Amino acid sequence: MNILLIGSSKFIGSHLLDRLVKKNDIDKILCTYLSNNQSSFFEKEKIIFNKCDVRKFSDIETNLKESHADLIIYMASSRYFPKPININDHVEININGIKNLIEACKQIKSNPKVIFINSGSSKLDSTKNNIGYSFSKKNSSEIFHNAINNNEISGTEINLFTPYGPKDFKYRLIQSYTIGLINGEIPKINNPNSQRDFIYIDDVIDIIEKIIFSNQKISSIDVGSGKPTPVLEIVKEISRIMKIKKEIKLDQIESKEEISYMKADLSIANKKFNWSPKIDLNEGIFRTVEWIKKNYTNYYE
């Protein structure tokens, strides 16, 4: 099997590559990136790294031709937090990017299976802001499913909720708060009552792997814990693990968020794959905090 992995990052993409390179039935992985080239961390004989800007049709077309892909894993995405410098990134990357992929498949007359790693926010009501993150995720989902219904591509959409774990970006909640404590700071928490559906990275990779090697026709599947947790509870647990007893700093005025509550529906994952998360939240936070403490200097400084 030849795989084209579009939009690999240092976090989810690196964990997925760690798993895929060990599979004997995978012959080649063409891994594209925009700015984070991970080539020094992986075996060269199985993985090829190419730069790709999904906003450019020609970039996707070139990589699709070169890969001879049997499977495309599309995980390119704009950033939700911190906000991107260019607000148009949500439309150009999330919406135009998936359009470019579909058009490239049509023009090359290639019909590989496509696994679209989307966000759980695609299921939110986001009609009030037609340039925001949630709107772009919802719109890209509609584009993907329309292409499937029109027999232009085949595949599965994965609605990924809030993944966390080792190698996550330093601006994400668990990483940023832990790094602050390591540096003797007590970071200020915005929107402490905001509830997210946290899912440990190993569980995420488990279900993605099952989907990759499955012949089942699954239109869309949620990947999360199904248990929303307030942000405040997360930072309390980090403080407990770090043995910090200082008062947690909260913003006096909570900002208005585009996303304030998320919960995955695990019914399809349970039914099709008998899958549910193995790592509970406290264990996952502990593993993540311990990894950050051991790897902070080499990975984040």
Q: How far apart are CA 80 and CA 253, in angstroms?
A: 20
Nearby residues of 185 by Cβ (< 8 Å), 6 or more positions away? none
What the block records as the tokens of 100 is 């470019």
Q: What is the pTM of this model?
A: 0.93
Find tokens 């919802």 and name the residue: 138
Hey, how many other C-beta atoms are within 10 angstroms of the C-beta on 88? 13
113-156: pLDDT as tens digits: 999 999 999 988 755 556 789 999 999 999 999 999 999 999 99
Angle between helices 133-149 and 96-108 (to 10 degrees): 20
Residue (of 18, 100, 55, 73) closest to 212 by Cα position = 73
Q: How far apart are CA 142 and CA 127, in angstroms?
A: 13
pLDDT range class, residue 109, cuts 50, 70, 90: confident
If one compares 256 and 266, the residue with the highest pLDDT of the two is 266
73-108: pLDDT as tens digits: 999 999 888 888 888 999 999 999 999 999 999 998
pLDDT above 90: residue 281: yes
Kind and range of the H or E run holding 61: helix 57-67
Q: How far apart are CA 263 and CA 162, in angstroms?
A: 10
* Average pLDDT over every residue of 223-234: 96
Of 66-75, 143-152, 187-196, 263-272, the range with the lowest mean pLDDT is 187-196
In this structure, are residues 194 and 231 in contact, taking their beta carbons and an 8 Å threshold? yes
In this structure, are residues 296 and 179 in contact, taking their beta carbons and an 8 Å threshold? yes
Give the pairing of strands 220-223 and 154-160. Answer: parallel
* Distance, first Cα to last Cα, the chain: 37
pLDDT range class, residue 210, cuts 50, 70, 90: very high
pLDDT range class, residue 255, cuts 50, 70, 90: low
What is the share, in percent, of the chain residues with pLDDT greater than 90? 72
pLDDT at position 130? 65
pLDDT range class, residue 257, cuts 50, 70, 90: low
pLDDT at position 1? 92
What the block records as the tokens of 285 is 């936070």
Distance of CA 171 to the CA centre of its chain: 14
Residue (of 31, 25, 34) closest to 43 by Cα position = 31
* Average pLDDT over every residue of 224-228: 97
